[in-house]
Amino acid sequence: MRNGDFVQWFEALEKRHLANLEFSEVRRAVQALSSLYVERRGRLGGASAVDGAGKRAAFALFFGPLHFLLIREVIRELQAGVPKRAAILDIGCGTGVAGAAWALAMDRRPRIIGVDQNSWALQECTWTYRSLGISGVAKSADLNTLRVPAETAVVAAFTINELDSDTRNRFHNDFLGTAQKGMPVLVIEPIARRLTSWWDAWARDWTAAGGREDHWRFRIELPERLALMDRAAGLDHQELTGRSLWLPGKP
């Protein structure tokens, strides 16, 4: 995906979400979500994050593009491929940016299956796929019982940390099994260690299975209007950070 395409998508997002809201309303919502996410350890995709138009706009228009840019850079650095026969399962898809970033990095754009429990997020995810010209479907799913289908690569971005320990442990085993069957798995979480007490055990198992753990810092020039929102909210995303676990899958 060319950066110009990203800017066009962001401009469409801005038109969509500022149609009935003032810039200042979204800016206040960005500040509220930042506090929820960083200080109170709330999940951006949780109900409290999208319980009003301002927060929904902030989630889609501000945090979504930031996550897209981070995930795109991680995928580029990992040279993360997807087998020709595979779709991409985006677990806890939110507005769909993780699966979209991965699909757009491929010469052959795989189909995406985005799953989430929030109805608004699924509607926004569908719009994301359509706007970016991606073949994908957004489905409602209970992550506490979801199993990984055959023939699907997996991305779980900013999702695993928010699950209960039993569900997280089940995904741990499912992901290792998915890689054993030849399908790649990518997990991305914030770089803050206090948010990921389970991370070290997963990293050991990923490395033992032939995968890798990485911490990332990327200097990225944001689109002008996104940078303006960042400054107005008193934030600084000139550098995007995250950590990842990558299992390439066995051929």
How far, in Å, are 7, 220, 236 from residue 11 at the CA level?
6, 18, 20
Number of structural domains, the chain?
A: 1
Q: Do residues 193 and 199 make contact, with C-beta atoms less than 8 angstroms apart? A: yes
**pLDDT confidence of residue 224:** 92
What is the pLDDT averaged over residues 6-31? 92
- Of 190 and 46, which is predicted with more confidence? 190
Q: Mind listing the pLDDT tens digit for each residue in 223-243?
A: 999 999 999 999 999 999 999
Residue range(s) defining the domain that contains residue 169: 3-247
- Of 47 and 138, which is predicted with more confidence? 138
List the structure tokens of 71.
């995930």
Q: Mind listing the pLDDT tens digit for each residue in 53-87?
A: 899 999 999 999 999 999 999 999 999 999 998 99
250 pLDDT tier (thresholds 50, 70, 90) = confident
- Share the mean pLDDT of the chain: 91
- Asked if pLDDT for residue 104 goes beyond 70, the answer is yes
Report the alpha-carbon distance of residue 104 to residue 107 in Å, rounded. 8
Q: What is the CATH number of the domain that holds 141?
A: 3.40.50.150
**pLDDT confidence of residue 49:** 62
Q: Mind listing the pLDDT tens digit for each residue in 140-155?
A: 999 999 999 999 999 9
Q: Do residues 216 and 70 make contact, with C-beta atoms less than 8 angstroms apart? A: yes
Q: Do residues 191 and 215 make contact, with C-beta atoms less than 8 angstroms apart? A: yes
List the structure tokens of 39.
């200080």
Q: Taking the chain, what is the end-to-end CA distance rounded to the nearest angstrom?
A: 27
- Asked if pLDDT for residue 43 goes beyond 90, the answer is no
Q: Is 188 exposed, middle or buried (0-12, 13-18, 19+ CB in 10 A)?
A: buried
**pLDDT confidence of residue 45:** 47
196 pLDDT tier (thresholds 50, 70, 90) = confident
Supply the DSSP string of the chain, one letter for each residue.
--HHHHHHHHHHHHHHHSSSS-HHHHHHHHHHHHIIIIIS---TTSGGGGSSHHHHHHIIIIIHHHHHHHHHHHHHHHT----TT-EEEEET-TTSHHHHHHHHTSSS---EEEEES-HHHHHHHHHHHHHTT--EEEEE--TTT--PPTTEEEEEES-GGGS-HHHHHHHHHHHHHHHHTT--EEEEE-S-GGG-TTHHHHHHHHHHTT-EEEEEEEE----HHHHHHHHHTT---SEEEEEEEEE----
